[in-house]
Homo-oligomer: A and B are copies of this chain.
Amino acid sequence: MRSPEEFSDWYQDIVEKAGLADKRYPIKGMNVWTGYGWKAMRLIDNFIRDEFDNTGHDEVCFPLLIPQNEFQKEADHIKGFGAEVYWVTHAGENKLDIPLLLRPTSETAMYPIFSLWVRSHADLPLKTYQIVNVFRYETKQTRAFIRMREIHFFEAHTCHTDFEDAEAQIREDLEIMSRLAKRLCLPYVLCKRPDWDKFAGAYYTIGIDSLMPTGRTLQMGSIHQYRDNFSKPYNITYEDENGAHVNVHQTTYGMSERILGALISIHNDEKGIILPPDVAPIQIVIVPILSKVEPEKVTARCEELSETLKKSGYRVHLDKRDLRPGNKFYDWELRGVPIRIELGARDMQNGIVTVARRDTGERVQLKNEDLLNGISANMADVQGNLFAKANSSLQDSIHPIEELTNVQPGINVMGWCGTEDCGHVIEEKTEMAVLGEPVGAELSEKKCIVCGIPTMKTIYVARTY
Contact = CB atoms under 8 A, between A and B. Distances in A.
Contacts of A82: 92
A22 interface: yes
Contacts of A223: none
Interface of A: 22, 24-27, 30-35, 38-39, 42, 58-65, 67, 70, 82-94, 100, 102, 109, 112-113, 116-117, 128, 133, 135, 137, 139, 150, 152
Contacts of A33: 60-62
Given A27-B67, A61-B152, A86-B100, 5 more contacts: A24-B113, A25-B113, A26-B67, A33-B62, A64-B102
Contacts of A150: 63-65
B42 A59 contact: yes
A24 B113 CA distance: 7
Contacts of A35: 58-60, 128
A144 to B, nearest CB: 13
A90 B93 contact: no
A27 B100 contact: yes
Contacts of A24: 113, 116
Of the listed residues A32, A102, A133, the one surrounded by the most CB atoms of chain B closer than 10 A to its CB is A32
Given A86-B91, A87-B88, A137-B91, A38 B63 contact: no
Given A64-B150, A67-B27, A89 B90 contact: yes
B113 A32 contact: yes
18 contacts: A22-B113, A25-B62, A25-B63, A26-B70, A26-B112, A30-B65, A33-B61, A34-B58, A38-B60, A38-B61, A42-B59, A64-B102, A65-B150, A87-B88, A87-B89, A88-B89, A89-B89, A92-B137
A135 B90 CA distance: 13
A84 B65 CA distance: 16
B87 A59 contact: no
A92 B88 contact: no
Contacts of A139: 92
Contacts of A100: 27, 86
A90 B91 contact: no
Contacts of A94: 137
A64 B59 CA distance: 22
Contacts of A137: 91-92, 94
Contact of A91 (B60, B64, B85, B113): B85
Contacts of A42: 59
A90 B86 contact: yes
A84 B88 contact: no
Contacts of A65: 27, 30, 86, 150
A311 to B, nearest CB: 15
Contact of A60 (B32, B83, B87, B117): B32
A128 B32 CA distance: 12
Contacts of A91: 84-87, 137
